[in-house]
Amino acid sequence: MVSFLFLLFSTKAEAAILTLEPSSKSIALGQTFTVAISIDTEGETVTSTDAVLLYDSSILNVDKIDNGDGVNEPFFPDVFKNITTNEVYVGAAVRNPTDVREGRGTVATITFSGKTEGTTDVRFDCTAGKTSDTNISKSDKNATDIVECARVVNGRYTIGAGIGGITSTPYPTSIIYPTATRMPTIPVSGSTETTVGILGVGALLAVSGIIAKIILKL
């Protein structure tokens, strides 16, 4: 009986979430990477969303923001964006008030690039009950904010030289070659010094032969 009354008077928890995908990544300094803002209405019908992202502009630069993922149909047809120091605002909505969205999809895709080495968070500015930050509007007369701030998925990204991605291997600035074995020098044919040396030896032998003959005749 108690269980029946609990089910009778309990109300369905209204919740929808936003996620940064990927939630972590390491890239080389100067490279670009993309982060998708994904939405999951978890069965609710919605008409708009506002994503307020905080980031460290000394480490990351926001190059551009595109609607959807660039491949599939955008979750919301209209996207509004504003980039300021350390903050990105992305708003998305349906064009017709009678139009609604439900399910999962990509709201927008942000292209970042690394400015300096370091690890930094990109996180949703989201406070339960607050409507001037990150929110998801339900398709009711009050446009009830149903984002569940405790479940949004933030991102953490590492910028560092030589980290992540496929980079070309630079040519070495200096190459140390093994020391070559010195080969003996071969006399050059026709050398004057060699010729003189050979003639000298021949003359000495000839003189020795003559002296030997003289001794034998005595």
CA distance linking residue 49 with residue 74, whole number of Å: 13
CATH of the domain at 135: 2.60.40.680
Contact predicate 136/147, CB 8 Å: yes
Provide the 8-state DSSP code for 185.
Answer: P
Q: Is residue 184 part of a domain?
A: no
CA distance linking residue 84 with residue 74, whole number of Å: 24
For 9, half-sphere exposure in the C-beta direction (CA atoms, 13 angstrom radius) is: 5
| Overall number of domains in the chain | 1
CA distance linking residue 17 with residue 92, whole number of Å: 14
For the chain, the distance separating the N- and C-terminal CA atoms, rounded to the nearest angstrom, is: 153
Provide the 8-state DSSP code for 167.
Answer: -
Omega prior to 172 cis, within 30 of 0: no
Amino acid letter for position 5: L
Q: Is residue 177 part of a domain?
A: no
Q: Is residue 8 part of a domain?
A: no
Question: What domain range is 94 assigned to?
Answer: 13-159
Contact predicate 75/58, CB 8 Å: no
Q: Is residue 56 part of a domain?
A: yes
Q: Is residue 27 part of a domain?
A: yes
- Cβ count within 10 A of residue 210: 10
Per-residue pLDDT of the chain (218 residues; tens, 9 = 90+): 444 443 433 344 568 999 999 999 999 999 999 999 999 999 999 999 999 999 999 999 999 999 999 888 899 999 999 999 999 999 999 999 889 999 999 999 999 999 999 999 999 999 998 989 999 999 999 999 999 999 999 999 999 954 544 333 333 333 333 333 333 334 444 444 444 444 344 444 443 444 444 344 44
Q: Is residue 217 part of a domain?
A: no
pLDDT in tens, 60-111: 999 999 999 988 889 999 999 999 999 999 999 999 988 999 999 999 999 9
Contact predicate 119/55, CB 8 Å: no
Degrees, nearest 5: CA angle 128-130-133: 105
For 95, half-sphere exposure in the C-beta direction (CA atoms, 13 angstrom radius) is: 3
CA distance linking residue 39 with residue 82, whole number of Å: 19
CA distance linking residue 170 with residue 43, whole number of Å: 52
Q: Is residue 153 part of a domain?
A: yes
CA distance linking residue 92 with residue 171, whole number of Å: 47
pLDDT at 129: 87
Among 72, 92, 73, smallest CA distance to 82 is for 92
Q: Is residue 145 part of a domain?
A: yes
